[in-house]
Amino acid sequence: MNIVILSRNAGLYSTRSLVNAAYRRNHDVRVIDHMRCDLVIDKNDHCVYYQGEKLVGIDAIIPRIGTTATSHGSAVIRHFVNMGVYSTLQSSALLLARDKLSCLQALTAAGMDVPRSIISKDYYAMSEMIERVGELPIVIKMIKGTHGLGVILSESKKNAESILEAFHKSKEKVMIQEFIHEAKGADVRAFVVEDKVVGAMKRQARPGEFRSNLHRGASSTIINLTEEEKFVARKAARVMGLEIAGVDMLQTSKGPLVLEVNASPGLEGIETTTKVDIAGKIIDMVQRNVS
């Protein structure tokens, strides 16, 4: 197969891991920067140019689109799919997953449990909304944040109001969310490939920190998920329309709450923690779908 990995940086762990897994299976593989892809929209000559070269003969793309490239990245994916190229990620699913609000709406519409969340465009209603979301402390979250940046724990109503005021002033979209104490600064990442959980880890935030992102210095350990957790992770990926997904859940006595679903989940944390060849599972999935 002729596989293209859409990635801005060939040196990133996830990109390298996918390249190696493809090589090991004797595929031709190339890393292409989606931000340097020019799209020709013409029904007789629908094509992609990469740094002046017309791309032909590609069987599959594996998009690894960072949060700063969502818009053009999704257009590039759509273009390849329109050209008949198999993609491990659909542009509509990427766009849905990148918006925390739309993601939670889709999950709850499908009957899934998430932390109670509120969004309001009316700044003056904020004070009341803070009371409505749950007991203090509460979580304030940027809709388009990532790696735990823009996720804030606010201990008092006054403090929450000041933070919301600042976000409102800078026109940053945010939501407020009930704080799940029971999670104890940990979350569970389930990695789903084609409706199967292929690996899972528990991430524990550093002491004094509630965000369990590895980018925020959290530690990770391999974990055996309950049947319910596996079911919830697979369902969340399905609801979002993702063949490959990193589903983050908070563990509570009432069962898992889905926090978010990542469309371009990193491979480094999950592969090094679980020792599972996740990249290999992704290439195998591509192989099944192309042949």
Binding interface with Mg ion (CB under 5 A): 248
Least CB distance to ligand ADP at residue 265 (A)? 11
160 binds, among Mg ion, ligand ADP, none (CB under 5 to 8 A by kind): none
Between 248 and 277, CB nearer to ligand ADP: 248
Between 2 and 108, CB nearer to ligand ADP: 108
The one segment of 5-13, 20-28, 35-43, 144-152 that binds ligand ADP by CB under 6 A: 144-152
Closest C-alpha among 47, 93, 42, 39 to residue 70: 93
> Helix axis angle, 157-169 relative to 126-133, nearest 10°?
130
Other C-beta atoms closer than 10 Å to the C-beta of 111 total: 8
Number of residues that bind ligand ADP (CB under 6 A): 22
Between 29 and 249, CB nearer to ligand ADP: 249
Least CB distance to ligand ADP at residue 177 (A)? 4
Draw the binding track, 250-289, toward ligand ADP (x: CB under 6 A; -: no contact).
Answer: x--------xx-----------------------------
176 near ligand ADP (CB under 6 A) = no
Query: Is the omega angle on the peptide bond into residue 137 within 30 degrees of 0, that is, cis?
Result: yes
The one segment of 13-21, 41-49, 160-168, 180-188 that binds ligand ADP by CB under 6 A: 180-188
**By CB under 6 A, what part of segment 182-211 binds ligand ADP?**
183, 187, 210-211
Among the listed residues 48, 69, 103, 139, the single contact to ligand ADP using CB under 6 A: 139
Least CB distance to ligand ADP at residue 17 (A)? 21
Between 178 and 277, CB nearer to ligand ADP: 178
Q: Which residue is nearest to ligand ADP (CB)?
A: 212
Distances (CA, A) of 289 to 130, 189, 241: 47, 25, 16
Among the listed residues 90, 154, 213, 220, the single contact to ligand ADP using CB under 6 A: 213
| Secondary structure in 3-state letters for the chain | CEEEEECCCCCCHHHHHHHHHHHHCCCEEEEECHHHEEEECCCCCCEEEECCEECCCCCEEEECCCHHHHHHHHHHHHHHHHCCCEECCCHHHHHHHCCHHHHHHHHHHCCCCCCCEECCCCHHHHHHHHHHHCCCCEEEEECCCCCCCCEEEECCHHHHHHHHHHHHHCCCCEEEEECCHHHCCEEEEEEEECCEEEEEEEEECCCCCCCCCHHHCCEEEECCCCHHHHHHHHHHHHHHCCCEEEEEEECCCCCCEEEEEECCCCCHHHHHHHCCCHHHHHHHHHHHHHC
What is the identity of the amino acid at 288?
R
Least CB distance to ligand ADP at residue 147 (A)? 5
137 binds, among Mg ion, ligand ADP, none (CB under 5 to 8 A by kind): none
Among the listed residues 59, 229, 248, 277, the single contact to ligand ADP using CB under 6 A: 248
Query: Which residues contact ligand ADP by CB under 6 A?
Result: 115, 139, 141, 145-149, 151, 177, 179-180, 183, 187, 210-213, 248, 250, 259-260
